[in-house]
Homo-oligomer: A and B are copies of this chain.
């Protein structure tokens, strides 16, 4: 079986943990991110060379970096970059084309990168392969409660390990959700198992616009020409709800789309008072049912607080009742309307070579903690208006400056004047950590002239 991971979503529903430029699937809940857990589930069904990821340029380095962290190397042609998001049908078609091109006729398991799913589900998914030459297979999860945030699938008569589908139903209100469960409906998980031939045949009939766009331009180079012409359409709306070749296979496993903070609270470990406290110390006085995220250096103290969400990052603090957590995206919309950068990125900024944390920002100086991955280099660059002081905290730095090249060791420092042509590299085998103090008349990311860049950002 081949597998495809949809990892293009930007997601604002877990702000400020997630940001437009750091979406939910790459957030770590425990040791691994949701994306990494999805990769590991795919590796139970296929080899790494058979795993495909549909994502975009901005997220490419998360995808590569997080797979590398797991100890795997994914072939470059398996990482597909959408020029813009057009919902799931174009993304899946893009992936199916690439898989057909590399492997010919194939069975493909398709997974969201930002859901939680029990690994025991892999056997059920694998077993569903018996249906793919006849059906487009979707997976329906046995509901545990009348959830109003999911679509529902009503199964019809059984066929093999699945059922034909009687109806797809939109997100219901609470009373309707209760009725759906009584009628035996399943949660629509957004996971699929498709045979390439069946998929393209149904696509040709039901969504010819998309079929034709991809058939006329099959080279990756031309993907930038295909996408602007496509309409945004989901695989459910574009094909599944219209096709008479659809089957649903029931998953009796723990699954969640972690669509808001209330879902996070449902899924993860709580203390005896139902408090789920993450990454910080706490003192809790008569408080129960809360979800708290903060920082290791902080203590969070709650008194008489019940069923609240409290998410504290270096640059933002969100407080709301758990039952209002679906309104978080309204906050992000407001910040975007104000052109507030905190909607887009956090104090931790990820780059192809590693990441940096902003420790302090003021008009005339910035302080950053920079982490460079082993073997990586920043671009050869120059700033007109700021000098930079680098203190190596951990690892070994190689500094190139105006033609010179030298090492800087832990506890040592160096100084880059405005106008100096410089490059920072980590020649070692462990991450390089430096503290950078930038000072000048203008301390903005925009004051940078790049002369060379291994990541094509020149």
Residues of A participating in the B interface, judged by any CB pair closer than 8 Å: 16, 281, 283, 285, 294, 297-305, 308, 310, 312, 314-321, 324-325, 327-328, 330-331, 334-335, 340, 342, 359-361, 364-365, 367, 369, 387, 389, 391, 393-394, 410-411, 413, 415, 435, 437, 439-440
Q: How many monomers of this chain does the complex have?
A: 2
With contacts A364-B394, A365-B435, A394-B364 taken as known, whether A303 is within 8 angstroms of B320 at the C-beta atoms is yes
Q: In the complex, what residues of B have CB within 8 A of residue A394's CB?
A: 364
Other-chain contact of A360, B302, B316, B359 (Cβ < 8 Å): B359
CB distance from A221 to the nearest CB of B (A): 41
Q: A308 to B317, alpha carbons, bound, how many Å?
A: 14
8 contacts between A and B (CB under 8 A): A297-B314, A300-B316, A303-B318, A312-B312, A312-B317, A367-B435, A393-B439, A410-B439
CB distance from A199 to the nearest CB of B (A): 41
Q: A298 to B325, alpha carbons, bound, how many Å?
A: 20
Q: In the complex, what residues of B have CB within 8 A of residue A285's CB?
A: 327, 330-331, 334
Q: Which residue of B lies closest to A294 (CB)?
A: B317
B327 touches A298 (CB 8 A): no
Other-chain contact of A331, B283, B334, B393 (Cβ < 8 Å): B283
B319 touches A298 (CB 8 A): no
With contacts A319-B310, A391-B439, A411-B440 taken as known, whether A324 is within 8 angstroms of B299 at the C-beta atoms is no
Q: Which residue of B lies closest to A393 (CB)?
A: B365
With contacts A413-B415, A415-B413 taken as known, whether A301 is within 8 angstroms of B331 at the C-beta atoms is yes
Other-chain contact of A389, B281, B300, B413, B440 (Cβ < 8 Å): B413
A302 touches B319 (CB 8 A): yes
Which label, helix, strand, loop or mixed, suits the secondary structure of the A interface? strand
With contacts A331-B285, A359-B359, A393-B364 taken as known, whether A320 is within 8 angstroms of B305 at the C-beta atoms is yes
Q: In the complex, what residues of B have CB within 8 A of residue A320's CB?
A: 301-305
With contacts A308-B319, A321-B305, A413-B413 taken as known, whether A299 is within 8 angstroms of B389 at the C-beta atoms is no
Q: In the complex, what residues of B have CB within 8 A of residue A304's CB?
A: 320-321, 324, 327
Q: Which residue of B lies closest to A309 (CB)?
A: B303
CB distance from A445 to the nearest CB of B (A): 16
CB distance from A175 to the nearest CB of B (A): 23
B303 touches A331 (CB 8 A): yes
Q: In the complex, what residues of B have CB within 8 A of residue A365's CB?
A: 393, 435
Q: A387 to B392, alpha carbons, bound, how many Å?
A: 12
- Nearest first, the 10 A-B pairs at minimum CB distance are A303-B320, A304-B324, A391-B437, A301-B331, A300-B317, A359-B359, A389-B391, A303-B324, A411-B439, A301-B318
CB distance from A267 to the nearest CB of B (A): 21
Q: A411 to B301, alpha carbons, bound, how many Å?
A: 40
Given A299-B315, A303-B318, 17 more contacts at CB 8 Å?
A283-B331, A294-B317, A297-B361, A298-B314, A299-B335, A301-B316, A301-B331, A303-B325, A303-B330, A304-B320, A304-B324, A310-B317, A317-B317, A364-B393, A367-B367, A387-B411, A435-B437
Q: A447 to B326, alpha carbons, bound, how many Å?
A: 50
Q: A365 to B391, alpha carbons, bound, how many Å?
A: 10
CB distance from A39 to the nearest CB of B (A): 30
A367 touches B359 (CB 8 A): yes
CB distance from A16 to the nearest CB of B (A): 8
